[in-house]
Structure 1
Amino acid sequence: MTDIVDELRWRGVLAQTTDEEALRKALADGPLTLYCGFDPTASSLHVGHLTQILALRRFQLAGHRPIALVGGATGLIGDPKPSAERVLNDEQTVRDWVAALRGQLSAFLDFDTAGPTQAVMANNYEWIEGISALTLLRDFGKHFSINQMLARETVKTRLDGEGMSYTEFSYVILQSLDFLELYQRYGCTLQIGGSDQWGNITAGLDLIRRILGNQPHGPAHALTQNLLTKADGTKFGKTEGGTVWLDPELTTPYAFYQFWLNTDDRDVPRYLRTFSFASREEIEELERATAERPQARAGQRALAEELTTLVHGADQCAAVVAASRALFGQGDLAALDERTLAAALGELPHAKVTELAPIADLLALVDLVPSKSAARRTINEGGAYLNNTKVTAEDAVPTEADLIHGRWLVLRRGKRNLGAVELG
């Protein structure tokens, strides 16, 4: 077992703990059982969830037992947002999302190797569904102070605005029940989460103390991680196209790879430390390389390849790397499989046509140049490419033989300005 607290601190992700000295002792005496919860608010997890998912993975690699809790019950209620009331989803939709999230989480943790660090998958619907309203109010609700609940930052924000329903106000009770149940069932003594979950997590600690008194499995602990922000002030995990999902049907492996490859130089050190499983020495070397030769994008490439491999597998990563290289003339476009190529070209400025037109017209159509006359000048100056082959005649027209997989043309102006045309 390694000192996971020191590792998280070096990585810059450790935000708060309830009693660090006691937690360090519990970890040293381990293996310790810990959990993190993920509510099914969509059909897929997204890159924002990776901070907590990979923390569970780090704890397991350090010799501890992680529990991945998917909130089949809490997902029917919704953790209050600071802005407005959540839309309640129907039960079948939430059940479907629970199944999808459980499948995704299983790729990050070892649930198969028997032993003290074998991961556990849990669903809080199992123990919350059967609790009656009377039991909830009489046996559990009496342990929650309204004053403390009202003091929570999200509640205060909402009460100063549009208000909050009793349903969302009660969410903290359900999450606290999770910690109590996992403590009793598995001896789980640590809950981790984002720093915005501190109030929910410590409420669970308090409920364990109030219900169980001397805590037979030892004292319970809380540990939160810093929420990621971007240097440019925009929200992490969002692009112009929307949320970056882990599901390849929602965010293609190529787009996922490009998300990391396009990381701002200023964010590279923090992202490497948060997400990479490379050694400290390797990460520090990548940080130096990024600072000294930012144009080489060594840190971004390392991030993109490691995380695409982790989320989508080595084969998919190899395919998108090949596509990325081929688009810029460093590989054979025709050798790319059709799905990967289509995903890559879908991220570029592109247009769909019903018949082939002169290349000058197509360059203007996908906005690689401002006009057809500018396109002809680009061709005459040797700056236009079709499928990585330089276009030498300003009146050149592609043929069906030029179509990749019978449907695509890849256009390039200069070294890095790309566009695509689809015939169909």
Structure 2
Amino acid sequence: MVGDPTDRTDMRQMMSPEQIRHNVECFKKQLSKFIDLSGDKAIMADNADWLLELKYVPFIREYGVHFSVNKMLTADAYRTRFERGLSFFEFNYMLMQSYDFLELYRRYDCKMQLGGNDQWSNILGGVELIRRAENGSAYGLTMTLLTTSEGKKMGKSQSGAVWLDPEKTSPYDFYQYWRNVDDADVVNCLKLLTYIPLEEIEKLSKLEGSEINKAKEILAFSVTEIVHSTKDAEEAQAAARSLFGGKQDSDSIPSTDVEASYFENGMGIIELLELTKLIPTRSEGRRLIQQGGVKIGDIKVDSSDMVITKQHFNNDCLLIQKGKKGFHKIKLV
């Protein structure tokens, strides 16, 4: 409800309480793959339990005195936004996260907070608040962010985001994302995201030219297996290999069932791309077509006004190719 301004050039879009509750349920489902939330093995706490009940004036009187505005403005999250404009709404974020740490310390004897290294200032704010408010000792541990070789966060752009939820990014597309990372990013991803022994990664790092694709396959399979399942990883790998071997009949290729009646009078290519979620917006679809990035079967789409009819289908199936390595199958039902 109060967005973190870190790494943002503008204010985050506000979400409704309903959206937030939905996301919380999704997080719980996704995190249960990595953390055992059964019994008392781990606690998933909702900070709304204490933050939404706070009274503003008492909170500022008791805790606001412990924060120096001058010191807060030295934090990257605020400094980079200060010249462009930073709302007071966002300025509260560090206080909120720091108070979270204090509440977790009081409720659960939590003494260490972990996060990406972009959260260093926020975590230190909590460490300092615990020291001042409770005369207690607490600690922070930050981890290297997953970035590209140019130093940008991976998968953060709206059109290229990678989701853990298979409904948002299918296991095949998830596999393909890691299979297609830049050559310069492969070793870093293998080290940060897989359980492959470092000695093995060292051998893979020596591969050159087209041989580096072996390392990319290993990366893609390993991460897909961890996030989804061994079965999903095997199917995604088989689908990718069959596509690039010229076969287009794999059941693992992402597909969408569409009523045959929709194509009686034809469907516009932009509408079809939207239907399959291959494009986030119509303008993105037009741009992709202008750049020659869309194929229907073996035909390159050269106009955003193209109409797809039943004649384009082969055995009630149609393969759409986006870019060099993105595939989606349309099945008539």
- Provide TM-score, normalisation by structure 1: 0.60
1:281 to 186, 199, 203: 199
**Relative to 1, partners in 2 of residues 1:419 and 1:366: Cα closer, same or farther, differing over 3 Å?**
farther
Out of 191, 207, 215, the position equivalent to 2:113 is 191
Q: Could you say what the CA RMSD is over the residues aligned between the two structures, in angstroms? A: 3.1
SS at structure 1 position matched to 2:54: coil
- Structure 2 CA distance, aligned partners of 1:417 and 1:171? 40
Amino acid at match of 2:31: L
Shift of 1:269: 1.3
* In 2, Cα distance between equivalents of 1:341 and 1:89: 29
Where 1:224 maps in the other structure, the secondary structure is strand
In 1, Cα distance between equivalents of 2:325 and 2:19 = 42
- In the superposition, relative to structure 1, how do residues 267 and 92 fare at CA in structure 2: closer, same or farther (>3 Å)? same
Match of 2:33 in 1: 107
| 1:126 alignment partner in structure 2 | 49
Q: CA deviation at 1:285?
A: 2.7
CA contact (8 A) 2:171 2:224 kept: yes
Mapped partners of 2:53, 2:100: distance in 1: 14
**Per-residue CA distance 1:343-397 (angstroms, 9 max, x = gap):** 7x9778433xxxxxxxxxx634457xxxxxxxxxxxxxxxxxxxxxxxxxxxxxx
Counterpart pick for 2:244 among 305, 328, 348: 328
Amino acid of the structure 1 residue aligned with 2:255: A
Query: Secondary structure of 2:114's partner?
Result: strand
Q: Does 1:220 align with 2:138?
A: yes
- State the Cα distance separating 1:308 from its structure 2 match: 0.8
C-alpha change, 1:299 and 1:113, in structure 2 (3 Å) is farther
- Matched with 1:80 is 5
Give unpaired runs (5+ residues) of structure 1: 1-75, 352-361, 368-397
The answer (yes or no) to whether the contact 2:186–2:215 under 8 Å persists in 1 is yes
- Give the drift of 1:257: 0.4
SS in structure 2 at match of 1:120: coil
Partner of 2:295: 350
1:149 aligns with 2:149: no
Change (3 A) 1:304 1:417: closer
Distance 2:105 2:70 in 1: 26
8 Å CA contact 2:254, 2:329 repeated in 1: no
SS state of the match for residue 408, structure 1? strand
1:202 corresponding residue in structure 2: 124
Question: In 1, distance between residues paired with 2:158 and 2:139?
Answer: 39
**Residues 250-274 of structure 1, C-alpha deviation per residue, up to 9 Å, x if partnerless?**
2121111011011222111111111
Per-residue deviation, residues 196-220 of structure 1 (Å, max 9, x unmatched): 211111000000000111x2xxx31
Distance 1:254 1:144 in 2: 47
Give the aligned residue type for 2:221: E
2:19 aligns with one of 66, 85, 93: 93
Q: State the Cα distance separating 1:224 from its structure 2 match.
A: 1.5
1:221-269 deviation per Cα after TM superposition (whole angstroms, max 9, x unaligned): 1122223332256642157942111122221211110110112221111
Number of residue-to-residue matches in the alignment: 288
Contact 2:312-2:318 within 8 A present in 1 as well: no
In 2, distance between residues paired with 1:240 and 1:152? 26
Work out the CA distance in 1 between the residues paired with 2:180 and 2:115: 27
Contact kept, 8 Å, 2:176 with 2:325, in 1: the verdict is no
What are the Cα deviations for residues 164-214 of structure 1, in whole angstroms up to 9, with x where unaligned?
Answer: 22221111111001111112222222112122211111000000000111x
Instruction: After TM superposition, give the deviation of residue 420 of structure 1 in Å.
Output: 7.8
Mark the CA change 1:272 to 1:128 in structure 2 (over 3 Å): closer, same or farther: same
Partner of 2:91: 169
Query: Residue 192 of structure 1 aligns to a residue in which SS?
Result: strand
1:128 aligned partner, one-letter code: L
* Structure 1 residue identity aligned to 2:114: I
Match of 1:407 among 317, 322, 326: 317
CA distance in 2, matches of 1:251, 1:152: 34
Identity %: 37
Match for 2:253: what amino acid? T
For the Cα contact (< 8 Å) 1:349–1:420, is it kept in 2?
no
Q: 1:253-264 residue pairs with structure 2 within 5 A?
A: 253-264=171-182
Contact 2:115 2:143 in 1 (8 A): yes
CA displacement at 1:421 relative to structure 2: 8.0
SS of 1:177's equivalent? helix
For the Cα contact (< 8 Å) 1:80–1:86, is it kept in 2? yes
Q: Does 1:340 align with 2:247?
A: no
Aligned-partner Cα distance in 2 for 1:294–1:248: 30
Residues 349, 418 of structure 1: 8 Å contact kept: no
Residue aligning to 1:310: 226
* 2: CA distance, partners of 1:95 / 1:240: 21
Quote how far apart the aligned CAs of 1:112 are: 3.1
Offset at 1:276? 1.0
Match of 1:179 in 2: 101
- What is the one-letter code of the residue matched to 1:224? T
Larger Rg: 1
